[in-house]
C-alpha cells in the first residue's frame, strides 16, 4: 500500500457557536495524489507518458556539402523542421530536454573537443523555452564538407548524452541526405546498447540500408526510419514522427481501479489495453455499477475503462454525509487510526460524486478541525486517500461546540450542501462533553437539519450519545466496547445510513398545512418533491404576496396560479414551501 502525503495549509480562525467563540482549524489540501489499495495479482503497472517522465532528445543534423549543394533553402528547411518537431513534443514543460549537434567531417586522431566539423550547437537542458531553442537553431550555420555519420553518433553518445538526466528516456533523431563516409554499425550498436532510441530520417540521396542498421541493427527493418524526397517535404513526416516518438516513450494503459474493500477485483491483464476487470462483492453486499470493465483505447485519447465505477454496498445513495469525529486525548493515536479505517470502510460502500454521495469531515477536541466540505472530493479514490491523511491531535472533548460549528457551517450552499436531499451525520465519540450548555442547545437543533447517527465507544456518555441520535433512537444509536468493535459494524452502519435515506424520501407533508378553500392538484401523494398546483374555482382569482409565492401573473396583473412543493427539512421531516395566497371574487 503506497500513500502519498498531503501538503496542508493550516489556518486558525474563530467561529462563533452560540455565545462562545469556538477555535477552529480549517485545513485546505493543496495536492492529493492518486491513491490505491492496489491489486495483488496481476499487479498494476505504472503508466508513462511524455508529459510525466523525463526525456532527453538530441537532433543530429547533417551539415555536409551535399546538403549545401542541394539548394539555398535546404538548410533553412532543416532548421524550420527541427523547431516544428521540438514544439510538438511539449519541451516547454521541462520534462523534455532538447539538444542539437551538427556534423560533417571527422579528423582522424583528434579528440572530440577539437573536432571543428562535429559541433554541439545546443547542450541538453541549455534551453528551457521555445524562444531560446528557436534562437539557437536559427543561428546554426552550415559547415559543408563530408558526411561522417558513424563518428557523429559516437561523439553524441559519448559527449552529449553523458550529460543526460538519471532515469531519462534518451532519443536521437538523425537527419541526413547522403551515405556515410565511415562505418555506422559499431557506433549505432553502442548507442542502442545504452538504451538510446534512434530515429533516422533520409532525404534525397540517402542509403536506406544504412539508416535501417543505425535505427534497428539490421537491414530491411523500417521501424523508426523515415524517407522524404526533398528537404521541403520534411513537414509531411512530422505528425507520424511525433506519434512514434511518443509510442516509444509512453506505456499506455488505464488508470488502476480502486479495489473494493468489501469485495474482490480480478483483471485479465492488469491495466493494459484490452484487460477485462471483474468485480465481485462479499456476502451481504450488493454490486452497484458495472460488474465488468474493459480497458479500451480510443483514437487521440488516453485509454479508459468502459462502464461505471463498481461499488460493493448496501444501497444506491444520493445524500450528503457528514462525519464528526472525536480526536481528543482519551481516543489515542491507535484508536484514531482504527476510526479512520472505519470511515474508509463506510465510504467504500457508496458511490461517490455530485450525483451520488458527497462526504464532509470534521474532527474535534477542544477545537474544531474543519477538514473539508462536501464538494471537495468528487471521486472515491481521492476521498479515501484524504481520510488516510487525517491527523490525530488535541485534548478536551467539546462535543457541543463541534455540533454548533456543524450547524453553522455545514448546511449552507458554500459548503457544497445540496438542498432538499437527505443529510446524514455520523458522530463518533468516546467521552463526555465538556460543554454541556452548548451540547444541550445544539444536539436537538442538529436533528432538525440532519438524520444523526450517534456512535459511542468505550467510556462514552450513554445518555449524551442517545440525546444526539435522531428518532427512531434504535436505528440511530450505537454503543461499542472498543474501537476494534466498530470494524465489525460497518455493514450495519451502511444499512442504517441507507434506512435514513429511505425515511427521508418516504416522509410526507400534511395536507392540513395547505391554504384551505383552494383547488389543489398534486402529482404525488404528498411525498418529498411532490408538486401541487394551486388555482381558484371559476369566478375567483388568486391573490398573494409575490415575494412568498410561485404564482404566475395574468396579463391584468392578477396572480392566477401558485405551486406548493413538499420539501425535506434534512432531519427526516417534510414541510411545504410557504405559499401565502387566497381566493376572492373576481
The angle subtended at Cα 196 by Cα 191 and Cα 197, nearest 5°, is 115
- 386-410 pLDDT, tens digit per residue, is 999 999 987 889 999 999 999 999 9
pLDDT over threshold 60, residue 199: yes
Cell 550529460 found at: 163
* Dist. CA 99–CA 188, nearest whole Å: 18
Question: What are the residues facing 210 on neighbouring strands?
Answer: none
* Dist. CA 240–CA 32, nearest whole Å: 36
Confidence of residue 452 (pLDDT cuts 50, 70, 90): very high
pLDDT over threshold 80, residue 581: no
**Do residues 543 and 574 lie in contact, with contact meaning Cβ atoms separated by under 8 Å?**
no
Question: What are the residues facing 7 on neighbouring strands?
Answer: 31
In whole numbers, what is the pLDDT of the chain averaged over residues? Answer: 83
pLDDT over threshold 90, residue 299: no
Average the pLDDT over each of 359-368, 375-384, 573-582 and give the range with the smallest value: 573-582
Kindly state the percentage of the chain with pLDDT values over 90. Answer: 61
What is the per-residue pLDDT for 507? Answer: 75
pLDDT over threshold 60, residue 25: no
- 503-521 pLDDT, tens digit per residue, is 887 777 666 555 555 566 6
Rounded to an integer, the average pLDDT of 301-320 is 91
CATH 1.10.3470 fits 511-585, yes or no: no
If one counts every other C-beta atom within 10 angstroms of the C-beta of residue 385, the result is 22
Rounded to an integer, the average pLDDT of 567-584 is 58
What is the per-residue pLDDT for 36? Answer: 38
pLDDT over threshold 80, residue 8: no
What is the per-residue pLDDT for 398? Answer: 94
**For 52-74, what is the HEC assignment?**
CCCEEEEEEEECCHHHHHCCCCH
54 CB burial (10 A radius; 0-12, 13-18, 19+): middle
**Domain extent listing, the chain:** 7-33+314-505, 55-249, 263-313, 511-585
7-33+314-505 matches 55-249 in fold: yes
What is the per-residue pLDDT for 27? Answer: 45
Cα–Cα distances (Å) from 509 to 43, 275, 399, 551, in that order, read 53, 51, 33, 20
pLDDT over threshold 80, residue 201: yes
Please state which CATH class domain 263-313 belongs to: mainly beta
* Dist. CA 280–CA 258, nearest whole Å: 13
pLDDT over threshold 80, residue 1: no
pLDDT over threshold 90, residue 118: yes
Average the pLDDT over each of 392-401, 406-415, 524-533 and give the range with the smallest value: 524-533
What is the per-residue pLDDT for 487? Answer: 92
What is the per-residue pLDDT for 252? Answer: 73
**For 312-330, what is the HEC assignment?**
EECCCCCEEEEEEEECCCC
Confidence of residue 320 (pLDDT cuts 50, 70, 90): very high
What is the per-residue pLDDT for 112? Answer: 87
What is the per-residue pLDDT for 539? Answer: 58
What is the per-residue pLDDT for 72? Answer: 81
Rounded to an integer, the average pLDDT of 527-551 is 57
What is the per-residue pLDDT for 575? Answer: 61
If one counts every other C-beta atom within 10 angstroms of the C-beta of residue 138, the result is 12
Confidence of residue 125 (pLDDT cuts 50, 70, 90): confident
The domain defined by 55-249 folds into Rossmann fold (3.40.50)
What CATH code would you report for 7-33+314-505?
3.40.50.410
pLDDT over threshold 50, residue 555: no
Kindly state the percentage of the chain with pLDDT values over 70. Answer: 76
- 468-502 pLDDT, tens digit per residue, is 999 889 889 999 999 999 999 999 999 999 999 98
Amino acid at each position: 500500500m503506497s500513500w502519498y502525503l498531503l501538503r496542508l495549509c493550516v489556518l486558525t480562525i474563530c467561529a462563533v457557536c452560540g455565545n462562545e467563540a469556538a477555535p477552529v482549524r480549517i485545513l485546505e489540501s493543496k495536492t492529493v495524489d492518486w491513491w490505491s489499495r492496489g491489486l495483488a495479482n496481476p499487479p498494476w503497472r505504472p503508466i508513462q507518458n511524455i508529459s510525466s517522465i523525463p526525456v532527453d532528445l538530441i537532433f543530429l543534423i547533417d551539415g555536409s556539402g551535399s546538403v549545401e549543394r542541394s539548394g539555398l533553402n535546404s538548410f533553412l528547411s532543416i532548421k524550420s523542421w527541427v523547431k516544428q518537431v521540438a514544439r510538438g513534443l511539449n519541451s516547454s514543460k521541462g520534462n523534455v530536454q532538447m539538444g542539437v549537434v551538427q556534423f560533417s567531417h571527422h579528423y582522424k586522431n583528434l579528440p572530440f573537443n577539437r573536432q571543428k566539423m562535429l559541433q554541439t550547437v545546443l547542450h541538453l537542458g541549455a534551453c528551457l523555452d521555445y524562444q531560446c531553442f528557436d534562437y539557437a537553431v536559427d543561428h546554426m550555420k552550415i559547415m559543408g564538407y563530408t558526411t561522417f555519420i558513424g563518428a557523429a553518433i559516437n561523439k553524441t553518445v559519448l559527449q552529449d548524452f553523458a550529460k543526460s538526466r538519471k532515469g531519462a528516456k534518451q532519443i536521437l533523431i538523425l537527419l541526413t541526405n547522403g551515405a556515410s563516409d565511415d562505418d555506422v554499425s559499431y557506433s549505432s550498436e553502442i548507442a542502442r546498447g545504452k538504451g538510446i532510441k534512434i530515429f533516422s530520417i533520409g532525404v534525397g540521396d540517402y542509403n536506406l540500408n544504412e539508416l535501417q542498421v543505425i535505427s534497428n541493427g539490421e537491414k530491411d527493418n523500417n521501424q523508426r526510419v523515415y524517407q522524404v524526397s526533398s528537404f521541403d517535404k520534411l513537414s509531411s513526416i512530422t505528425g507520424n514522427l511525433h506519434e512514434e516518438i511518443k509510442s516509444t516513450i509512453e506505456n499506455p494503459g488505464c488508470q488502476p481501479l480502486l479495489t473494493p474493500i468489501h469485495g474482490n477485483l480480478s483483471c485479465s491483464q492488469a491495466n493494459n489495453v484490452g484487460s477485462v476487470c471483474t468485480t465481485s462483492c462479499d456476502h451481504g453486499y450488493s454490486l452497484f455499477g458495472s460488474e465488468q470493465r474493459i480497458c479500451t483505447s480510443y483514437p487521440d485519447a488516453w485509454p479508459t475503462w468502459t462502464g461505471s465505477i463498481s461499488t460493493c454496498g448496501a444501497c444506491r445513495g444520493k445524500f450528503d454525509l457528514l462525519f464528526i469525529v472525536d480526536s481528543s486525548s482519551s481516543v489515542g493515536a491507535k484508536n484514531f487510526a482504527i476510526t479512520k479505517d472505519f470511515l474508509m470502510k463506510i465510504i467504500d460502500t457508496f458511490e461517490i460524486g455530485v450525483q451520488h454521495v458527497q462526504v464532509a469531515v470534521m474532527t474535534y477536541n477542544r477545537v474544531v478541525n474543519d477538514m473539508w466540505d462536501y464538494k471537495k472530493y468528487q471521486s472515491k479514490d481521492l476521498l479515501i486517500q484524504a481520510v488516510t491523511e487525517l491527523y490525530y491531535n488535541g485534548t478536551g472533548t467539546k462535543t457541543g461546540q463541534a455540533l454548533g460549528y456543524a450547524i453553522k457551517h455545514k448546511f449552507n450552499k458554500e459548503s457544497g450542501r445540496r438542498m432538499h436531499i437527505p443529510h446524514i451525520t455520523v458522530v463518533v465519540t468516546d467521552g463526555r462533553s465538556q460543554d454541556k450548555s452548548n451540547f444541550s442547545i445544539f444536539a436537538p437543533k442538529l436533528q432538525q437539519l440532519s438524520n444523526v447517527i450517534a456512535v459511542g465507544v468505550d467510556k462514552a456518555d450513554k445518555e449524551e450519545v442517545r440525546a444526539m441520535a435522531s428518532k427512531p433512537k434504535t436505528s440511530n444509536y450505537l454503543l461499542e466496547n472498543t474501537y476494534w468493535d466498530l470494524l465489525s459494524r460497518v455493514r450495519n452502519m451502511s444499512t442504517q445510513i441507507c434506512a435514513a435515506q429511505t425515511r427521508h424520501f418516504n416522509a410526507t407533508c400534511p395536507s392540513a398545512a395547505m391554504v384551505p378553500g383552494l383547488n389543489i392538484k398534486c402529482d404525488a401523494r404528498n411525498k418529498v418533491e411532490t408538486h401541487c398546483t394551486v388555482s381558484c374555482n371559476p369566478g375567483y382569482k388568486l391573490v398573494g404576496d409575490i415575494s412568498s409565492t410561485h404564482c404566475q401573473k395574468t396579463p391584468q396583473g392578477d396572480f392566477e396560479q401558485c405551486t406548493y412543493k413538499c420539501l425535506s427539512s434534512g432531519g427526516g421531516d417534510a414541510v411545504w414551501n410557504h405559499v401565502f395566497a387566497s381566493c376572492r371574487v373576481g
